[in-house]
Structure formats: C-alpha cells, structure tokens
C-alpha cells in the first residue's frame, strides 16, 4: 500500500504537512505537522500498522469455523495423499486441542504448551513440524481474511530438524543384493515352495500360526479369535517366524522382485512412482521411462482405496534415461507378468496394485537379509542411484533432472558431501592447468 504527504500554507504563511493514505474505500489522514519529516514519520507508522493488521476491523470467529473455510478452499487443489495427511493432522491433533477456542484466544504461550505436549507423547520432531505446517496455513489464511491481526505461530520456537544422514549401497553391495533376488517368476515360485517345505521344521507355537496364515489363508483377526490370542501376539509370532526363516512369502503373490528393485537402483524412481508405472509409460524406441503418476493407497471418505495421482511435484514429471539391458529385462517381465486392470507394470497375480508395506516387509527386507546387508530404507535405493551418477562424474544438472528435484539446491544439499570427495582432484587439475601453463609461457 502506498500513501502520500501533502502540504499547504496557513493564513500566517507558514508551511504545514500531513500524511495521507487509504484503508479500503475510505481515505485517512494524519495531523498537520510543521516539519515534513514528521509527516513522513506519520505515514511510515500508518503503513506499518496497516500491513501488520493493527488498523483492521477484526471479525471474531472460532478456530473450527476458519478451519472449515480453509478446507473448502484447499480441497479441490490437493492430491488425495496430501488431503489425507492434512485431515489426519487436523482430526488427531489440531481440532481436539483448539476446536473449542476462538481464533484470537490462541496465543504463542498456548502453542508452545501444545508443542511440549506433542513431544511428551513421543512424536518425532519431523511429525510435529508437519503438524505445525498445517496449523501455520490456517493462521495465514485467518490473517488474510482479517480474523486475526498476526500469525501467533511466528513467535513460537519450533522443533529443530537435524539433517538425516543418507545411506546407499556401494557397487559390491548392489551386486550382492541383486544376486539374492529371484530373476524370474519361476525362480520366485520355487523360493515359495522351499519356504513351505521348511514350515514343518518350525517350533510351536510359530508353526501353527504360519500354517493358518500362509497355508489356510486365514486373516490375523480370525487366527487371534480361534487361538484366543491378541492380534498383536499373532503379528509378533509371524514376525518371529520371518526372523527364523529369513523369508516369508508375500500373500499378494508378486514374483517380479528382480526387475522391480533393479529399476529402483538404475532409475532412482520413488516407490509410489514405481508402483504407479504403466506399460505405456515406457518408450522402447527412445529408451526412456516417463514418470507421470504415483500410486497411493489411503482412506477416502472412510474407505481404503487405490489412487493414481500426480507425482510429488511438477519437477517429478520427467523422462528417465534407461539402458537397453534394463529394457530387455522389462520385456522378459512383460511376457511373464499377469494382466493388470490399469496396465500396471507391477501387480499381483490377480492384476491388482501392489501394497507398499507388504512389498517392503515380505520382499525387500528379506532380500537384504539374505544378502547379509544392513537394513536400509527403500528410499535409500534412490540415494544409491544418485551416488552412482556422481561416481560417474555426471553433471549436477543432469542428476537433478533425473531425480526430479524442483531445485538444484535440493540436489546439492542432499548429495553435496558425495561430490566433495572429488574436490581435491579437481583442485589438483586446476592447479596443473594454471601453473604448467604459466611455466610454458616463461
């Protein structure tokens, strides 16, 4: 907002100045001053008060009412996964705590107490920060709508997020990992048969639970009811059996482990992007994989649903370079895999989408264990891909586009320490060029 300073002469011939500005359709003025700099100070003060909301007429409203209006505004533009995350933070933490307050009653002290209580429940700092991000959006919306004069969250000490250390597989570890994966569907089925042959060797009560779950195809709830056990006890026994056998087959009958994890290592695709990959996303001629969607599973209107949604960001829409060897493995997979209703590259025997947790629990983690490797996250395969590109001295810009980072700053912040390992060599090369060149010129 801009204002002005106007001047006039009195009857006595003396010069006077005053500040002027506008609040909506209504003009406003400051007092007449005998010095121009005083009127300019009045103008600066008035504009500051307007910008900070001190001159607004506040429309008092409850936090719940603002929240409902904000959700109406945001809902059409949010991905289902983002909407689910927002709704979870609101229903579990924000409404129970602030739903009965008027918005202007929520003070920085009240917010600091809220953060302390979240910490005491054992929530991680990252989760608390994500909850506060949602709350911050509510306050910013309320300031724009003149329900409060300022955002109280700006004066609150927020949890500090330590930068996590990334982990990745080295070349020898990649070879060990890939060697443990069944290379085709037949080998994977044989691995399952081997598992069933080892069931009788399990001690009780592990054997009974595993037989009911994998052979008789009973659900955890029924097993718990039939054996008069808690569901948590049944799950812990299945987990114990997996530790003993180092492998439990997935009940979704997925046998594409080799190509699935190979693509993850050689393309850096996120888990949701891989699960949402369709056959028409593969350009066999130009040797590219087009990332256009991600698969997400979550609750919508109280029901669990599969949703193919846009990827994480606009930059995540990208075309990945892949090798002919990888395309050849994809051709083999296409001949063996079942037909999917959505033309998914990776699906169950029934053609349904894969469930991420099941894939990690019954495929990824056992493969790491068979290879004798430490436990890592699936996302660390993405870091592995980045580390391979850096080792090959690919340009940071190329790495950014392949990974789908919105900014090259993200690429440097995440992988800069890996690039630093080459700095001494780069410095030596630069010195050699300059010094050797100057020596020759003499």
Q: Which of 245, 269, 292 is a domain's end point?
A: 245
Note whether 204 and 272 are same-domain residues: no
CATH of the domain at 16: 3.30.160
The total domain count for the chain is 4
User: What domain range includes position 132?
Assistant: 63-155
Note whether 308 and 353 are same-domain residues: yes
Tokens 């069944």 belong to residue:
182
Residue 359 lies in a domain: yes
- Secondary structure in 3-state letters for 210-269: HHHHHHCCCCHHHHHHHHCCCHHHHHHHHHHHHHHHCCCCCCCCCCCHHHHHHHHHHHCC
Going by C-alpha positions, the residue among 98, 102, 101, 138 that lies closest to residue 115 is: 98
Question: Alpha-carbon distance 120 to 198, whole Å?
Answer: 45
- Secondary structure in 3-state letters for 302-361: CEEEEEEECCCCHHHCEEEECCHHHHHHHHHHHHHCCCCCCCECCECCCCCECCHHHHHH
pTM (whole model) above 0.85: no
Question: Alpha-carbon distance 431 to 374, whole Å?
Answer: 41
Note whether 290 and 381 are same-domain residues: yes
Tens-digit pLDDT string for the chain (442 aa): 578 899 998 888 889 999 998 765 667 888 999 999 999 998 888 887 776 656 566 677 899 999 999 999 999 888 888 999 999 999 999 999 999 999 989 999 999 999 999 999 999 999 999 999 999 999 999 988 888 878 899 888 889 888 778 899 999 999 999 998 877 666 666 666 777 777 788 888 888 888 888 777 788 889 898 888 898 898 888 888 777 766 666 555 677 889 999 999 999 999 999 999 999 999 999 999 999 999 998 877 778 888 888 888 888 899 999 999 999 999 988 988 888 888 999 998 888 899 888 888 878 988 898 899 999 999 999 999 999 999 888 898 999 999 999 888 888 888 877 776 556 666 677 777 777 655 555 5
Residue 406 lies in a domain: no
CATH of the domain at 84: 1.10.150.130
CATH of the domain at 372: 1.10.443.10
Residue 285 lies in a domain: yes
């Amino acid at each position: 907002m801009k204002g002005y300073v106007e001047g006039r002469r009195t009857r006595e011939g003396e010069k006077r100045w005053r500040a002027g500005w506008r609040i909506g359709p209504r003009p406003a003025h400051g007092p007449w001053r005998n010095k121009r700099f005083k009127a300019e100070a009045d103008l600066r003060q008035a504009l500051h008060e307007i910008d900070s909301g001190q001159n607004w007429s506040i429309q008092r409203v409850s936090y719940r009412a603002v929240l409902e209006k904000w959700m109406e505004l945001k809902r059409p533009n949010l991905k289902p996964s983002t909407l689910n995350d927002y709704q979870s933070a609101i229903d579990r933490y924000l409404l129970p705590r602030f739903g009965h307050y008027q918005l202007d009653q929520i003070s920085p002290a009240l917010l600091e107490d809220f953060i302390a209580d979240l910490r005491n429940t054992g929530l991680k700092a990252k989760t608390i920060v994500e909850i506060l991000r949602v709350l911050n959006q509510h306050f910013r919306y309320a300031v724009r709508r003149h329900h409060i004069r300022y955002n109280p969250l700006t004066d609150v000490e927020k949890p500090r997020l330590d930068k996590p250390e990334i982990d990745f597989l080295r070349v020898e570890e990649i070879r060990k990992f890939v060697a443990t994966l069944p290379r085709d569907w037949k080998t994977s089925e044989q691995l399952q048969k081997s598992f069933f042959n080892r069931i009788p060797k399990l001690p009780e009560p592990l054997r009974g639970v595993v037989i009911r779950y994998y052979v008789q195809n009973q659900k955890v709830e029924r097993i718990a009811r039939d054996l008069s056990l808690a569901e948590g006890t049944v799950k812990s026994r299945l987990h114990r059996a997996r530790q003993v056998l180092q492998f439990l087959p997935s009940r979704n009958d997925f046998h594409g482990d080799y190509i699935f994890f190979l693509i993850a290592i050689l393309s850096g695709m996120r888990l949701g992007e891989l699960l949402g990959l369709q056959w028409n996303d593969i350009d066999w001629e130009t040797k590219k994989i087009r990332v256009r969607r991600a698969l997400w599973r979550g609750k919508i209107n109280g029901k669990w649903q599969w949703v193919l949604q846009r990827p994480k960001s606009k930059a995540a829409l990208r075309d990945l370079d892949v090798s002919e060897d990888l395309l050849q493995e994809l051709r083999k997979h296409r001949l063996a895999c079942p037909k999917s209703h959505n033309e998914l590259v990776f699906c169950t025997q029934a053609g349904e989408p894969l469930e991420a947790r099941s894939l990690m629990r019954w495929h990824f983690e056992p493969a790491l264990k068979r290879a004798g490797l430490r436990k890592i996250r699936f996302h660390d395969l993405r870091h592995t891909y980045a580390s391979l590109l850096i080792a090959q001295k690919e340009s940071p810009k190329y790495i950014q586009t392949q990974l789908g980072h919105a900014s090259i700053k993200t690429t440097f912040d995440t992988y800069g320490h890996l690039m630093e390992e080459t700095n001494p060599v780069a410095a030596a090369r630069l010195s050699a060029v300059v010094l050797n060149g100057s020596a020759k010129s003499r």
